[in-house]
Amino acid sequence: MKDAKNTNSDFIRSDLNSFLKIIETWKNLVLEDVKQNKNEFIISLKEKKPYSKREYPRRFVISRSYKIEKYSIRSFEIHKKKKRKVEFLKI
């Protein structure tokens, strides 16, 4: 599990670490990618394989602003096209 070391405040660091602990319980289902910049942290989750009743795996993106107490959650289906091109269709 990754740790939030370079965030602006203890509150934000605690918030991000809480997300990462929850995601740790899903490690057999999703791949995680955490990115941080000066304005926000972004957690991307990608299903390792689609659920049996769906044709395409999904991707979830959770972002949290450092400046305002606001979260954004987006979800996409991952469609692979010819020549290994990947397209994300918003759900």
Instruction: Please compute the mean of the pLDDT values over residues 48-71 and round it to a whole number.
Output: 80
* Residue labelled with tokens 């602003």: 65
Q: Which of 75, 35, 41 is nearest to 56 (CA)?
A: 75
pLDDT tens string 38-57: 778 888 888 887 667 777 88
Contact status, residue 67 vs residue 39, Cβ threshold 8 Å? yes
For residue 22, give the H/E element and its range.
helix 10-24
Instruction: Please compute the mean of the pLDDT values over residues 29-38 and round it to a whole number.
Output: 84
